Amino acid sequence: GQQLNQSPQSMFIQEGEDVSMNCTSSSIFNTWLWYKQDPGEGPVLLIALYKAGELTSNGRLTAQFGITRKDSFLNISASIPSDVGIYFCAGQLRLRSGGGADGLTFGKGTHLIIQP
């Protein structure tokens, strides 16, 4: 199956710094999604990308769908303490002709830690 390489695995930053993380794949995806997961909770959607080259912002978050459809990045500007958590990228290959949908393939996550 598809594999996603997400990096970095963890980041230790100071409050106020900008953050950048990315995912790469050996195969193409039609959709890229970025989620944040807090301990004991389910992943919460941050940004969804549907078109190669698309650049989308959600407040201090910006994500891009790579032109090759094999990569995506997420940037967080001016980090704040509540940004702490695990960030996952996820790719979806296609919608099936019969109407069903492929499941998401998740990266292993980037653990963001903000130092006071």
Partner 1 sequence: EPEVTQTPSHQVTQMGQEVILRCVPISNHLYFYWYRQILGQKVEFLVSFYNNEISEKSEIFDDQFSVERPDGSNFTLKIRSTKLEDSAMYFCAEGGLRSPLHFGNGTRLTVT
Residue 109 binds partner 1 (CB under 8 A): yes
Q: Which residues contact 55 (CB under 8 A, 6 or more apart)?
A: 62, 63, 64, 65
**Distance between CA atoms of residues 27 and 51, nearest Å:** 15
Residue 102 binds partner 1 (CB under 8 A): yes
Residue 103 binds partner 1 (CB under 8 A): yes
Query: From the list 19, 22, 43, 65, which residue makes contact with partner 1 (rule: CB under 8 A)?
Result: 43
Residue 90 binds partner 1 (CB under 8 A): yes
Q: Which residues contact 35 (CB under 8 A, 6 or more apart)?
A: 43, 44, 45, 46, 87, 88, 89, 90
Residue 8 binds partner 1 (CB under 8 A): no
Size of the site for partner 1 (CB under 8 A): 28
Query: From the list 14, 100, 115, 116, which residue makes contact with partner 1 (rule: CB under 8 A)?
Result: 100
Binding site for partner 1 (CB under 8 A): 1, 31, 33, 35, 40-45, 48, 50, 88, 90, 95-96, 98-109
